Structure 1
Amino acid sequence: MKISTKIKLLSSLIVAAFFIANSQVQAQSDPSGNRRVTSSYAIKNATITTAPGNTIKGATILFKDGLIQAVGTNVNIPVGTDVINGDSLFIYPGFIDGASSAGVSRPADPERPANFDSSNPTDEQAGITPWRSVLDNLDMGNNAISDWRKAGFTIAQAIPDGGMIAGKSAIVIYGSGESTNILAQNTALSARFRGSRGMYPGTPLGVMAKFRDVYKNAELSSTHTRLFASNSGLNRPEINKTYQAMFPVLDKNIPVIFEVSNDLEIRRALRLQKELGFKIVLSGVTEVENVISEIKASNATVLLALTLPEDKTKAKEDATDEYVARTARVKEAYEKALKQAALLEKEGIKFGFTTSGAKTGDMMKNIKIMMDNGLSENAALASLTVNNAQNLGIQKFAGTLEKGKLANMVVMTAPIFTEDSQVKHVIADGYVYDYEVKPKRAANGNGNKNGGNPSGSSVLAGTWEYVSDTPAGSSGGLMKIEGSGSNLKGTITFDDPAGNGTAQADMKDIKLVDGNLSFTFDVSAGGMDLNVDVKGDITDDKFTGRMSLGNFGSFPLNATKKPNNSNF
C-alpha cells in the first residue's frame, strides 16, 4: 500500500475522548525545531546528568553549531550567548534507539511470474534482500519520528522492513528537516524468523536452513572472488548481489540484527551464530531467564523491548482449582516479564532499549515498572543512552554530555524517572525542539481531580462530538459512552476508510484514572487491521488528547460533550 493511501486512511480514523482544560500552557512551543542553534547557546544553573551516575547541580552547558563547548559549574559564557535559565530544569544525554522502525515503510513485494515455482523462488520473492538499504524506505519527516523525538530520542539505528533478510540498517540523527541526518550507512544486516507465504522458506526452521545456505554460499563466493583476484588460471567468479551483500557480515565488519520475540527464537538465532561465527545483536528481547548462559557465551548485544505485557489475571468467585492453577501460571509469567531488565543488570549484561513495536505513551511507564521490579535508575538511563552508543560504535560523539560531542540532549522539568517529569526541550544535532508542558494539577479537597467524584466516570456517560486532525486534514464523528466505574462501554463513529459513509467500532479498555482517560478501538482499512490508542485528560465536558496509530504516528484530537443524553 502506498504511503499516500496510508495518510488518507489516517484522516478517516477518528478518536474521541476527554481533556482537563483547567490547566493553562505557560510557555510557547516550537516542536518543528526550526530554531537552529547556530551561535553560542547556554542553559545555566541546571541539574545536568552528563552520564549515568554523574550528576552536577547548578551547572551550565554551553554549545554552538551543534557541538558541546563546555559543561560544568565554572563555564565562561561568551558575550552574545543566548542564555536559558535552567533553575528548575534537569538535563540528560539524548536517548539513542538501538533498533527503530519509525518512519520505515515496507518495500512492495515483487510480482510473481506465471511460471512461479513456490519450492524455488528467487531471493527477492523469498524475502532475501541483503543488498537493500533502509534509507531507500525511510521518511525522516514521518510523524512517528517526531513522536519519538518528543519522547527524548535524538539518534536511532533504523532497521529495514521486509522478509527473512531484509537489508542493511543505518544510523540517523533526529535533527534538521533540511539535512539527510545520516550518521552511518550499512551498519548492520537485519534478519528475522519471518517465512514467506506460500513458498519456501515458509517456516522458522525453513528460515534457519535458508540462512545457512545463503551464508555458506556467500563464503564460497568470497573465497572464489579473492582467489581469482590474486591468481591466474581460475574461472571467473559469478557475481551474485545477494552473496556480495553478505561479505561485510562474513568479515565481521557489521553484525546481524536478529529480531526475536521469545526465548525459542533467541536460541535459534544463537545456534546460527555459533555455527557460522557472525557478530549478533538480539533485538526485541522479552524473555531471557532461560537463555542467560547462551547470551553470555555468544557475546551477543541485547536490545530489550520497551513493551510489557498486560496483567490478564482476574479474580473470579467460585473458581475451580484448575482455573486457580492456570491463573497462577499466567500471573507468574507476567511477573517474570517485568523482571527481565533487572535480571540482565544482575547478570552484568549491558543491554540497550529498542522502540520497535513500542508506543511513545507507554515508554516511561514501562521503564518505571521495570524499575519497580529491580532495575536500577542508572542502568535504566544507561540503556537509553551510553549502552546503545557503545553498541553502535558512536560513543566518541554521542551517549554522554561532554565537550566536543554532539549537542544531543533532553531537558526535563523534573528528575527523569519521577512521576511529574515532562520533556520541555529536545536538542538534536544542535536543533532545538520545544514542547508544551502542563503545570502539575493539584488534587481537590477530596484527594482526587474529578470534582469529588472518586471514579470520575459520571462525566463520561453521554454523547461526545469530536474533531481529529491529521496531515490529510480534519474529520469528526460521535462517541457514545455509558456505564460507570469499571463497567464503562462505548462506541465511536468515523468516516469509513472504504468510502461507504460512516463506520462504527467498539471502544475497548476504557479507563479513567486521576483525570486521565484511555481507550482503544480497531479499524479495518485496505486489508489492514489497525489498532488506535487514545489517551488524554478530562474534566467537565471538554477533552484534549492524542490518538496513536503505531508507526503511523500520533495526532491531536479534541472533543466536547453534548448538553444532554437524548442520543442514548
Structure 2
Amino acid sequence: MLNAQFRKKVKLLVMAAFILGLQDLVAQSDPKGERRVTGTYAIQNATVTTAPGKTLSKATILIKNGIIESVGTNISIPKDAQLILADSLYIYPGFIDGASSAGVGKPADAERPANMDPSKPTDEVAGITPWRNVLDYFDKNNSQIGDWRKNGVTIAQIVPEGGMLPGKSAIVTFGHSSSSNVIAAQVGMSARFRALGGGRGYGVYPGTPLGIMAKYRDVYKNAEISAKHNRLFASTSGLARPEINKTSEAMYPVLDKNIPMVFEASSDIEVRRVLSLQKELGFRVVLAGVTEVDNVISEIKAANAAVLLSMKLPEDKITKAKTEGLSEEMMQRTKRIQESYENMLKQAAKLEAAGIPFGFAGLGSKSADMLKNLRIMTANGLSENGLVAALTTNPANILGIGKFAGTIEKGKLANLVIMTGPILSEDAQVKHVVADGYIFDYEVKPKKNGNEAKTNGSGNGTVSIEGVWDYVSDTPAGSSGGTMDIKRDGNGYKGTITYDSPSGGGKASSEMKNITVSGNTLSFSFGVAANGMSLDVEVSGEVNVSQFTGNLSLTDYGSFPLKATKKPNQSNF
C-alpha cells in the first residue's frame, strides 16, 4: 500500500493528467507493471541461453529472493514456488549497457567570473569537474529508464553530462523506483573531447581538440605532483603543507589505476588521440561510443583498451539515393558515401573477427532503435554468439561485475530478458524483463502477416498517417478522447492532439512530438500541463489503413488502450 505522503504526491500528479478518471487508479496495481520476486519463482519450460553459445531447451530457472537458485532441465520445484509457464519463450541474461546517459540530468552551467581571463578559466567554466558524482544528477524515475528496460537493458554504467572531464560514473540496475538501484558508485572517470565555453557564447581555453589534449596532460600531471607532495608531507617533517585541490584529488583513483578513464571517442581520429594520451600517461582506458574501429584495431589491441561500440547507426537514406543523371564525379562521391555507410554496419563484425571483446554503449542512440540496429549489425557479419556476448558477458567483464551479472547461473542476480523468439528473429519481442528482483511485463503485438496496413504509395511499406483522427482511450475509470491532426512537415511530420482539459470546461491541446513512422508502427509523445505540473505521455501502436490501435503510456501508471479512426475522405486508398 502507498503511504499517505506518497499517495498525496501521486494524486497531485494524476490531477494534471488529461484522463480525469485516473485518480481512481491510485490505489490499484499497474496491471502491466512490476511484481517483486520476494519469494520463490520457477520460470518453466523455456529455451534458455545461459551464456554465449550455451543454450538449454525446455529448461527451468528457479529464482529465490531475486537470486538465481538453479537452472537446468531437471529442476526440483518447491511446493511454494509460483510458476511462470514459458513454453515457446526464449530467455537471455539481462542486457548490460556499458555507457548510458539514461535518467542523467545536466548540471547547471558554471557562472563566468566578470574578470576572468579566457586563457585561464576556472576548472568548472572549462568543463573540468572530476569531483562530481553522476548519482547526484540521476533520476531513477525518468521515463528513459523504462524505455531502455523494455528493450532488455537491466544494468547500465551511467556517465555524467558536462564538458571534457564531467565527473565519475556509476553502475545502476534498471529496477523498481522504490530502490536506490545503485550497484556501485564512482567506478570510472568520464572524459570526452568536448569543450564548454564556446558553445555558450564566449570562447575559453581549451576550445580545440589539441587544446583539450594539452589540458588533459596538464590535469593529469598536476594530479601526480599533488599526490607525490601529499605522500611526502605525510612521511617527512619540514615540508610545507600541500594545498587542497579538488580537481587533483578527484584524479587520484585514476592515477592509482583503481578506476579507468571512460573516454567517449567516436571516430578513429578520436580513438587515436585517446590511445596517445593513454600511452603517454599510463591510465586504464575504456573507449565508449565508438563508431569507427577498422583503422585502429591494432592500436586498440596494443593498448589493451576496452571497447564499447555505439548502438547508433547512420540513416540509410544514401543507399536509396538515385544516381541516374548524375555526373561521373557525383556518382563516384555517392558511391564512396554508400561504401562508408556499409562499412559502418560492419564495425561490430570486425571487432569480433579481430578477437577484441566489446560491449555496447547507448550514448546518443534511441532506445526504440536498439534491437533493430543490433540485428542490422548481425546481418552485416556479427555472429549471434558475438551479439549475445556484447550484450552480456563482455560488458560485465569490462565493468567488473561478472561475479553477479552477465550469465544465467546459480548465485547470479536474476536479471533476465524473456522474448517471444530467438533474439535475431525479426518478429521476436520482449515479453518480460526481470531486473533487480522485479518482473516487468510488456504487451506483445501479433506477428505481422504482410496485410495489416496500407502503404503511402512510396513502396517502402510505410503507412500514411496524415489527416485528422478521432481517438478514444479507455481506462478502468472510464473513457476519454479527442482528435489527432497530423500533417507532413518536410521529411517528417507535425501534429496537434486535443484532450479533455484537466481544469474542466472543454478541450485543451498539445503539440505532438517525436512523431515516428516505421512500417505500420506509429509512435509519438506529448505533454499535459495543469496547475503548474506536467505529465509526459507516450503513444505507440499499429496503423491499419484508417484504423489505429495502440497504447497510451503514463509514467508510473502503465499503459492503457487507445483506438483512433481517420475521418472520412482522408485515407489513402
Give unpaired runs (5+ residues) of structure 2: 1-12, 18-28, 198-202, 475-479, 499-507, 527-536
Matched, 1:493 2:500: no
CA distance 1:260–1:452, shift in 2 (3 Å): closer
Could you say which residue in structure 2 is the equivalent of 1:160? 160
Q: Which residue of 417, 420, 425 maps to 2:424? A: 417
Structure 1's 240 and 488: CA in aligned 2 closer, same or farther, altered over 3 A? closer
CA contact (8 A) 2:470 2:567 kept: no
Contact 1:48 1:90 in 2 (8 A): yes
Instruction: State the one-letter code of the partner of 1:415.
Output: P
Deviation at 1:461, TM superposition (A): 5.0
Aligned runs of 1:137-156 on 2, under 5 Å? 137-156=137-156
1:88 shift after superposition = 1.4
**Deviation of residue 323 (structure 1)?**
1.2
1:126 matched to 2:126: yes
**Structure 2 counterpart SS, 1:363:** helix
**Is 1:564 matched with 2:571?**
no
Letter in structure 2 aligned against 1:289: D
Q: Please list, as runs of the form range in 1=range in 2, the aligned pairs for 1:159-558 lying within 5 A after superposition.
A: 159-197=159-197, 198-313=203-318, 314-443=321-450, 448-450=451-453, 460-465=465-470, 478-481=484-487, 491-493=494-496, 513=519, 515-517=520-522, 536-544=541-549, 558=562
Aligned-residue offset at 1:411:
0.9
| Greater Cα shift, 147-156 or 112-121 | 112-121
- Partners in 1 of 2:163 and 2:419 — Cα distance? 39
Distance 1:287 1:556, change over 3 A: farther
Q: Distance in 2 between matches of 1:468 and 1:367?
A: 33
Report the TM-score when normalising by structure 2. Answer: 0.82
Read off the aligned partner of 1:286 and give its amino acid letter.
T
The percentage of counterpart residues that share the same residue type is: 57
Counterpart of 1:311, as a letter, is D
Question: What is aligned with 2:33?
Answer: 32
Displacement of 1:512: 5.9
Residues 287, 82 of structure 1: alpha-carbon distance in 2 compared, 3 angstrom cutoff: same
| Cα offset, 1:476, TM superposition | 6.9
Distance of aligned partners of 1:321 and 1:116 in 2 relative to their CA distance in 1, 3 Å threshold:
same
* Partner deviation per Cα, 1:493-545 (whole Å, 9 max, x = no partner): 369xxxxx98989998x7563x3347999xxxxxxxxxx99864201433245
Q: Distance in 2 between matches of 1:467 and 1:161?
A: 39
Q: How far, CA to CA, are the matches of 1:535 and 1:317 in structure 2? A: 38
CA distance 1:403–1:221, shift in 2 (3 Å): same
- Does the aligned pair in 1 maintain the 2:348–2:377 contact within 8 Å? yes
Tell me, in whole angstroms, the C-alpha distance in 2 between the residues paired with 1:47 and 1:533: 32
Relative to 1, partners in 2 of residues 1:63 and 1:259: Cα closer, same or farther, differing over 3 Å? same
Shift in Å at residue 75 of structure 1?
A: 0.9
What is the DSSP-based 3-state SS (H/G/I as helix, E as strand, rest coil) of the residue aligned with 1:180?
coil
- The range that moved more, 64-73 or 111-120, is 111-120
Q: Residue 200 of structure 1: CA displacement?
A: 1.0
Aligned alpha-carbon RMSD (Å): 3.3
Cα–Cα, structure 1 residues 31 and 171, in superposed 2: closer, same or farther, change >3 Å? farther
Distance in 2 (CA, whole Å) between partners of 1:208 and 1:148 is: 33
Aligned counterpart, 1:89:
89
Paired residues, what number?
510
| Rounded Cα–Cα distance in structure 2 between residues aligned with 1:505 and 1:175 | 29
Report the counterpart of residue 3 of structure 2 in structure 1.
none
The CA distance in 2 between the partners of 1:534 and 1:544, in whole Å, is: 10
Residue number in structure 2 paired with 1:69? 69
> CA-to-partner distance for each residue in 1:156-176, whole Å, 9 max, x for gaps?
111111111000011111123
Cα separation, 2, equivalents of 1:36 and 1:295: 42
Measure, in 2, the Cα distance between the counterparts of 1:458 and 1:44: 39
SS in structure 2 of the partner of residue 295 of structure 1: helix
Work out whether residues 306 and 358 of structure 1, in 8 Å CA contact, stay in contact via their aligned partners in 2. yes
Match of 2:104 in 1: 104
Separation in structure 1 between the aligned mates of residue 514 and residue 434 of structure 2, nearest angstrom: 37
CA contact (8 A) 2:552 2:562 kept: no
Q: Is the 8 A contact 1:517 1:535 kept in 2?
A: yes
Is contact 1:544–1:556 with CA below 8 Å preserved after alignment?
Answer: no
Kindly provide the amino acid, as one letter, of the partner of residue 271 in structure 2.
I
Question: Would the alpha carbon gap of residues 109 and 380 (structure 1) be closer, same or farther in structure 2, given more than 3 Å must change?
Answer: same
Distance 1:459 1:566, change over 3 A: closer
Query: In structure 2, do the counterparts of structure 1 residues 507 and 427 end up closer, same or farther at CA, with 3 Å as the change threshold?
Result: closer
> Residues 226 and 475 of structure 1: is their aligned pair in 2 closer, same or farther, counting only changes over 3 Å?
farther
Question: Structure 1: which amino acid aligns with 2:33?
Answer: S
TM-score by length of 1: 0.82
Q: Name the CA shift for 1:458/1:375 in 2 (closer, same or farther; >3 Å).
A: closer
Deviations 1:321-356 (A, max 9, x none): 111011001001001100000000000000000111
Greater shift, 317-326 or 296-305, is seen at 317-326
Contact 2:160–2:169 (Cα < 8 Å) also in 1: yes
Distance (Å, rounded) in 1 between the aligned partners of 2:96 and 2:398: 10
- Cα distance change, pair 50–116 in 1 and its aligned pair in 2 (3 A): same
Q: Cα gap change, 1:320/1:144 in structure 2, threshold over 3 Å: closer, same or farther? A: same
Task: Please give the per-residue CA displacement for 1:109-150, whole angstroms capped at 9, x wherever unaligned.
Answer: 122222222221111111111111000000111100011111
Measured in 2, the distance between the counterparts of 1:555 and 1:355 equals: 25
Structure 1 residue runs without a partner (length 5+): 1-7, 13-27, 496-500, 522-531, 549-553
Contact in 2 for aligned 1:481/1:488 (Cα 8 Å): no
Structure 1, residues 247-291: CA drift from partner, whole Å, max 9, x if none?
Answer: 000000100011112111111111111110000011000001111
Question: Tell me, what secondary structure is at the counterpart of 2:166?
Answer: strand
How far the C-alpha of 1:459 sits from its partner, in A, is 5.9
Residue 392 of structure 1: how far off its partner (Å): 0.6
Whether the 8 Å contact between 1:254 and 1:279 is mirrored in structure 2 is yes
